[in-house]
Structures are given as structure tokens and as C-alpha cells.
Amino acid sequence: MFTNGLLNSFMFGLISAVSLPLGALTIIFWKPKERVIAAFMAFGGGALLAALTIDLVGSALQHEQFYPLAFGSILGGIFFVILDQLVSSQGGFLRKTATTYTYLNRKKTKAYKELLQKLSVIALFRNLPPEEIQELLPYIVQVTYEPGSVIMKQDEPGDRLLLIEEGVLDIIDTRHNKTIATLTTGDVVGEIALVTGENRSASVIAQSTVAGWEIKRDDFYHVVNRSGELAQAFHSVTEKRIELLQNAQALDEIIAHEWRKKASMTLEGWITKPSDDDIKKASEEHHGAPFAIWLGILLDGIPESLVIGASTVHATISLSLLAGLFLSNYPEALSSSMGMRKQGRSFFRIVMMWGSLTIITGVGAFIGNIFFQKAPDWLFAFIQGSAAGAMLTMISQTMLPEAFRRGGWITGLSTLAGFLAAIFFKTLE
């Protein structure tokens, strides 16, 4: 038979998390603007910060348990980061706007750095300012050619450059049916024609499946002409003898390394937020994303359910902690639900997802109460620290960065308001 403490744990767990489905249901009749969402999210983050400070950290310090608290906090933060990365790699990053942007931007940055490494072996690009080369990256696309494909045709205008990533192709003089050269991984074809626009002196035919990167001449000139520094450097290159462009293999690797380093320095700051198409594509690529999203949200909620269970062992839960959890969950669900709707998730699935997590939070608090019935003070402090570390890491990684990205200056004031609101609830106890 359940005791009042167990029932209270379950009930308070439900109350703290019921704002999750409420946030999802909100989008039926209200789709708030970016700044409003930012204000809600920062307010929730501030409330949770106050609750962590007063009810978790403060409680442990009152029992003179700093070291278990600190050790638990460090482990909780590290554990959260590791699990968050694992879940995100399976599509769980789609659960929040902040995690979605962070994951996709990191992926795009990595791809662009790999591309810069490939471009650094091409003399044409190495003679352009590395600080400006980022403008060209979106126009360089991945291509694949089947064996026997005519990639470039003799006597046609040179309209693109191809950097071979994998495969073998032949340079053939089709007039005399003569193979002039065979190119493979790391080789480049078409760089001279990219500069001069002259007709091809030979055909380029895929000997095997060829994968590589291409940039069209029109796109190249479009970007070059938009940047005064690029245009000046490019015209300086074209004034030199064209033959110099054919010596890519003899170029100094040290110079290539320095060029890559300079080109990569401002790359992360240059990359803009992912487009809706980028997010939709990422969602389609991760077929297991719905389950990973659910796991990711569960990861955010596990620490709070254990704390609720532990807090109700000897007394009722603190109002400030309950308010902090409730207020932080609502904007999180509101923002995530709007994002998942844009990704094409059904409204029913979204509500069921948040509803199931509400039940799980209640059950987690119930189990936590059982587990901590006879726990010593140091174990209480350790668990409180673990929860505080995990939640603080989550706030700093997702809630506040997303709030600032959406709302700018309003973030600081809203965080302060949430912080004071949680303290106010403490005065009511």
C-alpha cells in the first residue's frame, strides 16, 4: 500500500512536468513570435537557475556536504554531455531549435573544412585570399558520375572545374582517339578553362564511378565579382602565365597548410543558421529521429524526477523548485513543438510524446522516493549535485543560447525575472 510520501512524489512529478503537454497544446491556438518564445525560455531558465541554487545546492551545503555535491555536479554535467551527444547523433538534435542549429552548423563546418583542405591543393584557389574564400563554398557541390559518362566534352566551352574525391577518369583527344592522361583521387580537371573560358582541348570520360566536387564558371565569377578583394586577387592570377596553374602537384604543402588555416579561422562565424530545407532534409535522413527526440527530451527530464523523489522523502517539495521546473518545462515544450511541427511531425504524436514524459516524470519521482527512503546525507547531496550539474549544463547549452538567438536583449531581463519569480515562491513556504 502506498504511503503519502510516495503518492506526493508521483503527484509533484506530474505537476512539474504537466507544463510539457500544455506547451504542446498551446500551439493549437497561439503561435508566438520569436521574441515572445525567447522571453518565456529565458524566464524558465532563470527560474530553474534560482531553484537549483536554493533548493539543491543550498540544501546540500546546509548539511555540510559540499564535496559529494561538487563531485555529483561534475559527473552529472559530463554524463549529460555524453548522452546528449549520443542521442543527437541518432537524430535527437531535432528536439530543440538550439540543438538542431548547433548540430547542423557543426556538421556544415566540418564539411566545409574538409572542402577547404581539398581546395588548398589547387593553385587557382590558393592564390585567392583565404579570408574571402568562404563565399565560394556554398556554390561547390558534390557530384557523382557513372562509368563511361562524358563529364566534359572536347571543343565545348569550359564551364566548370572538377576536383576528384574518388574514382578514375581519362583525358581523351577524341579527334585522334588518344588517351592523353589518367586522373584519380585528389586530381583536378578544368581549372584552366575555369579561368579562360576557352573550349576544351580534350574530353573527360569516367573510367570508373567518379565522386567529386564541382564549381561552375558562372557561379565562380558571380562570387568573385561581388567581392572587391577576390576580384582583385583573381585578376592578378589571370595576368600570370596560365601554365603556372598546371603545377598543382609541385606546390609547397606548407603554404597549403597555412592557407587552409587562415581560410578556416573565420569559418564558424561565417556560417549562418540552417534553413528550413536543411532541417527538413536532416529530419528525413534520420528515420529513427522520433524515438531519438523522445529519448533526448527524457534525458532532460530524468534529473528533475529524481530530485523530486528525493525531496519528498522527509518533507514536501519546495515551492521554488516545483515552480522552477514547471516554468522551465513550458517554454521548452512550446518551442520544441513548433519546431517539430515544421519538420512535419503530426500534432497527435507531439502531444503523446510530451504526455508520456509527464507520466514518466511522475513515475521517476515515485521511484526516487523509494530509493532515497534511508539514504544518508552524502548520497542526497551527491544526487542533488548530479541533477544540478545535468540541469545547469542543459540550461547553458540549450535554453539560454536559444533564448538569446531568438530574442537578443530581452533574454537578460527575462532571465532575471524568472530568477526572482522562483525566489518569490520560496518566500511563500
Dump pLDDT digits (tens) for 143-192: 899 998 988 888 888 888 888 888 998 988 888 888 888 888 878 887 77
How does residue 420 score in pLDDT terms, banded at 50, 70 and 90? very high
Residue 94 in domain? yes
Residues 288 and 91 sit within 8 Å (Cβ to Cβ):
yes
Q: Which three cell numbers stand for residue 41?
A: 525560455
d(CA 264, CA 117): 9
Do the domain assignments include residue 197? Answer: yes
User: How many of the other CB atoms lie within 10 Å of CB of 187?
Assistant: 18
Residue 115 domain flag: no
User: Over 50: is that where the pLDDT of 108 sits?
Assistant: yes
128 and 33 both lie in a single domain: no
Number of folded domains that form the chain: 2
Same domain for 98 and 46 = yes
In a domain, 113, yes or no: no
Read off the pLDDT of residues 324-337 as tens digits, 9 standing for 90 and up. Answer: 888 888 887 887 78
- Residue 242's domain comprises 122-250
Residue 19 forms beta bridges with which residues? Answer: none
Residue 201 falls within a domain, yes or no?
yes
Question: The CATH number of the domain where 154 resides is what?
Answer: 2.60.120.10
CA of 102: how far to CAs of 316, 329, 334, 405, in Å? 39, 21, 19, 12
Is the pLDDT assigned to residue 313 strictly greater than 90? no
Question: Does the predicted TM-score (pTM) go above 0.75?
Answer: no
* pLDDT surpasses 80 at 79: yes
Return the SS3 of 55: helix
376 and 400, same domain (yes or no): yes
Clarify whether residues 156 and 52 are in a common domain. Answer: no
Same domain, residue pair 34 and 93: yes
Asked if residue 344 and residue 402 are part of one domain, the reply reads yes
Same domain for 209 and 327, yes or no, is: no
Query: Which strand (E) or helix (H) includes residue 295?
Result: helix 289-311
Least confident of 55-59, 95-99, 326-330: 95-99
- Cell 592522361 belongs to 181
| DSSP-assigned beta bridge partners for residue 297 | none
Assess if residue 411 is contained within a domain: yes
Which residue would you say has higher pLDDT here, 303 or 189? 189
Asked whether residue 265 is assigned to any structural domain, the reply reads: no
The torsion region of residue 144 among left (phi > 0), alpha (psi -120 to 50) and beta comes to beta
Both 170 and 219 in one domain: the answer is yes
b/e map of 190-219 (b: 16 or more CB within 10 Å)?
Answer: bbbbbbeeeebebbbbbbeebebbbbebeb
